[in-house]
A and B are shown apart, each in its own frame.
Chain A
Amino acid sequence: MTDQTPVLRLEGVVKTFPGVRALDGVSFDLRPGEVHALMGENGAGKSTLMKVLGGIYDPNEGQIYIAEEPVTIASPMQAKARGVVFIHQELSLADELSVAENIWLGELPHKSFGRVDWKKLYDETDAILKTLNVGFDARTRVGDLSIANQQMVEIARALTVDPRAVIFDEPTASLTDAEKVVLFEVIADLQSKGVGIIYISHRMEEIFKITDRISVLRDGGYRGTLNTAETNEEEVTQLMIGRKLDLSRNESHHELGDVALEVRNLSCGKLFEDVSFSVRRGEVVGFYGLVGAGRTEIAETIFGLRDPSAGQILLNGEEVRIHSPMEAIARGISLVPEDRKGQGLVLGMNCRDNMTLPQVDDLTAGPFVSDGAEVAIFDQYRDKLDIRTPGWRQIAGNLSGGNQQKIVIGKWLSMHPEVLIVDEPTRGIDVGSKSEIHNLIRDLAAQGYAVIVISSEMPEVLHVSDRIVAMFSGKVMRTFTSEEVTEDSLIQAISGLEGDKVA
């Protein structure tokens, strides 16, 4: 393979921003027909590198070669014209437009006078969609599709040209297993046509399943390329974070208290049906399932954001009806939401104000907000959670993902909850901070909180939970203890393969 000309080669690419060297002499090459993983913690420079390739940033130094021809790329369109196609992690779709228009956005086929050639557009789109084996057609409005299907639309965009190199940025973040299979087929198909593929992902199991080589970035610098067949997760992780990662399952159990929260036969329309479970003090219950299995919706119902259509919620053995988040907070339930930046934080506000947001009404001195009381609360939880920030005046948006998440957790802890629900606690957080958050969750349980963790990552669920509730399409399939659970049985349960329920 080494004698082939690389489809894409980077040589000593440097990109600096005021005060930061975001990329520090990155070089690697992408060969035709290979899947090349690009890994690194958040902030390691992956997205900067992609933006340089996409012509959004101009590199300060270094050279990009496409098929050994030195090029300068000034826009994503130029990149695409040269056969370098991006599939973005964050959906970049216009949801009022049809699937076809989105796929061909910016290059709709047209006739004279700029008239859109609808027939050609729909025919070609349907042909592409057929290869992707999806259940919608070219005329569907994108806004009517599920997130996973929208991701498939994004992927379909790469197939409109004859690409030399396709760059997938976390493509499986919102795909179900079945859809992943299709995606991997698409990748294999591109591979067989001699297309080079850069695959960015945090998910080790995928990386080891489909890639040929792995390049690792850390702190903007290139740390080396490994042949996937000759390496293992540990080596890659070490290269990424410079130390080992704990992937074991949870062994220790804390002393369990009374049942803090019990849910009986809870339903909410078609979102989830007949859900029953209980959480004791000092226990972490993990909810595992595919995206759309109804996990987040259960949390939102308990937190009073949705009205259940049937069933009971019991707090400390007493039946309660919760109609709003305010009531939930007053009864000691806190929800750390899935979308940290959108739902959890006011990014433009400083750390202290974010943390005291739910109780600022009570922190008054006369008619004014009491600065002292606010700072005291912030200091307390900064120390408790080890939040690394230069001071409370720091704007929350400037913190790293892990520290942001700690601010959100601190915010809810300061409300003295009994039940803490954490939805996707480590989404978009780098590997190093992940284990910190995991330890924090275990600690909180040890202190007597009843904790519910919702996660789509199996290692995370295995690692933090005392018990695991497996969900499939709005139903609880099985509840495992951390001793009895195996990866196989868990996957079977969340895929709906396990018929018999064990409570």
Chain B
Amino acid sequence: MAPEKRKDLLKQGGIWGFIVLELAFFSIAGEYWAVTDKAFMDFENMLLLLKQSAPIGIIALGMTIVMINGNIDLSVGATFALAAIVLLDSMTWPFMQNLGDWAIPLAWCFALLTGVILGAINGLIVWKTGVDAFIVTLGSMLGFRGLVFMYNGEQPTSHLNWTLVDFAEAQFLGLHTATWFLFGAAVILWLLMTKTLHGRNAYAIGNNREAAVNAGIRVGPHFLWNFMLIGFLAALSAVVFYSESGSVNPNDGMLFELWAITAVVLGGTKLTGGYGSIVSTMGGVIAIQLLRKGLGHIGADTSTVNLVIGLILIAVLFMDRQLNRKGKEELKV
């Protein structure tokens, strides 16, 4: 049992080790190549890093649950954009303007509701048709993005509400609003996945769907709830981000689904489902953001950043495979 435990620890702790490695590397490399005078491990810089990881981070948390469930959701980027449009545009509606600052919570509710409805559409199709979630959400990714363009053509949708911006830029106990939302979502979802029936059933369904069906777990409704949850989180991510920026481009949120999946996979969640954790996904999210920021810190451009993240992702999956092997006596297949 002892080597098993050690291996488990290595698998779960791996991502945090990687983060420490990144911090060390960029701190040292920063001494020589830094484009600014500030140290990489600067406290303000780290706070900013957490804030910047919030949009994709919140989506990645939801993606973890959907992937543990054995599904995937490719439409989160489009959901993100559509929720953002609803958030900003709804505040310009006449009756909303009459409400003054009370329009803000209402606009949030509209945006979040949009996310939940879009998620429910995905979930219902997956449940009722039995088509693979990959295909369903690939379709809805295109469809939802189409809705985004129908709303305002190629034009950006803008509305700046200063009360909202003040709230979004506020810092409470040192952390930014967005960071609080990220941590809050993480804690709630962690509780959901480790402590509740719904969470444990999600693991069971992803791990062995037939066993779950035989045990009387209602798989379809379960999927529906999780798709609604990720839709909600994609919208929450939009609420957090666009409260501050106040302007949404119809192309915003593109590739978010892939970044979220990258973070989830880096955190060790299995693509086939049944294994993974919210905490590890947080690690994955932070690791990616560190990499982006760190490479920027030493003067690399975006294309280099993408290349490096891609290579690391493949290397991580390769190492994971090695960890899962059973040593030399194993079958050579």
Contacts and interface: CB of A to CB of B under 8 A. Distances in A.
A94 B217 contact: no
B208 A92 contact: yes
B331 A300 contact: yes
B197 A108 contact: yes
A105 B203 contact: no
Interface stretch (A57-65, A263-271, A376-384, A408-416): A263-271
Contact of B203 (A76, A96, A269, A271): A96
Interface in B203-225: 203-204, 207-208, 210-212, 214-217
A80 interface: yes
B321 interface: no
Contacts, number: 86
B217 A93 contact: no
A127 B211 CA distance: 23
B198 interface: yes
Contacts of B4: 144
B6 interface: no
Contacts of A268: 329
A81 to B, nearest CB: 9
A75 interface: yes
B332 A101 contact: no
Contacts of A92: 208, 210-211, 214
A108 B332 CA distance: 39
Contacts of B214: 76, 86, 88, 92
A305 B332 contact: yes
A107 B216 contact: yes
Tell me the interface secondary structure of chain A in the complex. loop
B62 to A, nearest CB: 18
A305 B197 contact: no
A305 B332 CA distance: 5
B196 interface: yes
Nearest to B194: A116
B87 to A, nearest CB: 29
B256 to A, nearest CB: 28
Contact of A101 (B198, B204, B333): B204
A97 interface: yes
A238 B203 CA distance: 47
30 contacts: A77-B216, A86-B214, A92-B210, A93-B208, A94-B203, A96-B207, A97-B200, A97-B203, A97-B204, A97-B207, A101-B203, A102-B211, A106-B201, A106-B204, A106-B215, A106-B216, A106-B217, A107-B216, A108-B197, A110-B197, A113-B196, A114-B197, A116-B200, A144-B4, A271-B329, A300-B331, A306-B331, A307-B332, A309-B328, A309-B329
B195 interface: yes
Nearest to B274: A96
A304 B331 CA distance: 9
B275 interface: yes
Contacts of A76: 214-216
B212 A106 contact: yes
A115 interface: yes
A94 B196 contact: no
A400 interface: no
A457 interface: no
Nearest to B217: A106
Given A107-B215, A115-B196, A94 B204 contact: yes
Interface string A96-139: 11000110011110100111100000000000000000000000
Interface residues of A, number: 35
Contact of A115 (B195, B215, B275, B328): B195
Contacts of A88: 214
A93 B211 contact: yes
A324 interface: yes
Given A92-B211, A107-B215, A324-B332, 14 more contacts: A92-B214, A95-B208, A96-B274, A105-B212, A105-B217, A106-B216, A108-B197, A115-B195, A115-B197, A116-B200, A269-B328, A304-B332, A306-B332, A309-B329
Interface in A275-307: 300, 304-307
A97 to B, nearest CB: 6
| A-B interface, 4 closest residue pairs, ranked by CB to CB distance from nearest | A77-B216, A106-B215, A94-B207, A105-B215
A9 B261 CA distance: 52
Given A96-B274, A144-B4, A105 B196 contact: no
Contact of B216 (A75, A94, A115, A271): A75
A77 B211 CA distance: 12
A321 to B, nearest CB: 14
Interface string B123-164: 000000000000000000000000000000000000000000
Q: Which of A75, A101, A105, A268 has the most CB of B within 10 A?
A: A105
Interface string B293-333: 00000000000000000000000000000000001111111
Nearest to A109: B197
A144 B3 CA distance: 12
Contacts of B331: 300, 305-306
Nearest to B195: A115
Contacts of A114: 196-198
Interface in A423-441: none
B329 A105 contact: no
A338 to B, nearest CB: 12
B329 A270 contact: yes
B148 to A, nearest CB: 35
A76 B196 CA distance: 23
A309 B330 CA distance: 12
A116 B195 contact: yes
B45 to A, nearest CB: 37
A246 to B, nearest CB: 35
